[in-house]
Structure 1
Amino acid sequence: MQKAFTLAVVSEEKKVDYVSYFLKDEANYWWESACALEEEEVITWDRLKKIFLGKYFPRYMRTQMELMFFELKQEGMTIGEYEKKFTELARFVGDYVDTDEKRAKRFQQGLKPWLRSRMAAFELTTYVEVV
């Protein structure tokens, strides 16, 4: 939905209306209940994302994905496979890879030790350079 909002230039005030329109079946029943239970009169986009993720992507699952990210090592993967998995899991740990330099550093830390030690001499600071 975020991508669609960017493309269609949807205002913050209209995002909840657009998303709720597309909810079907069980998700729509959940939304109707959530609206009835909310103490705030108007549910903002940020609030909707929070309660939606709480329902459909609970904290324990997010924690599990974070752990998978922090334990990720290249080991038997090619650089391409490692980069794909890194990118897939990085979205769950925003603050740890929210700058290009942090992302590059974390990616380099997960590389095979022999490769990581050789790359250290280059002092690469961007994600693209490290990959």
Structure 2
Amino acid sequence: MTVVGYDVEFTNLAKYGSHIIDTDRKKARKFEDGLLLEIRNVVRPIRLATYAEVLDRALLVEQGLEDVRRIS
């Protein structure tokens, strides 16, 4: 699943778990947990504070991986 697809799915399901992800930081950590391993391994060590930052970085990493695959 792409990061955009995961974001849509995560956002749809997040409304049912609002008591679990009641802060932006918790939402960011939960979102990280569901990322593909190769993306999560790049994003998680940075410890971004907000969901928007994690989403933005995940999209950048995904694009970078796609560029590498395309060139290879």
> Structures share a fold, TM > 0.5?
yes
The CA deviation at 1:98 is 1.1
- Give the superposed CA RMSD: 0.8
What letter matches 2:54 in structure 1? Answer: V
In the alignment, is residue 106 of structure 1 matched against residue 30 of structure 2?
yes
Which residue number corresponds to residue 92 of structure 1? 16
Say whether residues 1:119 and 2:21 are aligned partners: no
Q: Which runs of 4+ in 1 moved over 3 A?
A: none
Gaps of 5+ in 2: 56-72
Give aligned-pair identity as a percent.
38
Q: Counterparts of 2:45 and 2:26 in 1: how far apart (Å)?
A: 18
Structure possessing the higher relative contact order (Cα contacts under 8 Å, 6 or more residues apart): 2
Distance in 1 between the 2:42 and 2:29 partners? 14
Question: For 1:61-92, what per-residue CA distance to the aligned partner results, in whole angstroms no more than 9, with x for missing partners?
Answer: xxxxxxxxxxxxxxxx1111100000000000
- What is the TM-score of this pair, normalised by structure 2? 0.72
Alignment coverage as a number of residue pairs: 55
Counterparts of residues 40-55 of structure 1 (less than 5 Å): none
Deviations 1:24-74 (CA, angstroms, capped at 9, x unpaired) = xxxxxxxxxxxxxxxxxxxxxxxxxxxxxxxxxxxxxxxxxxxxxxxxxxx
Q: Gaps (5+ residues) in structure 1? A: 1-76
Distance 2:45 2:14 in 1: 25
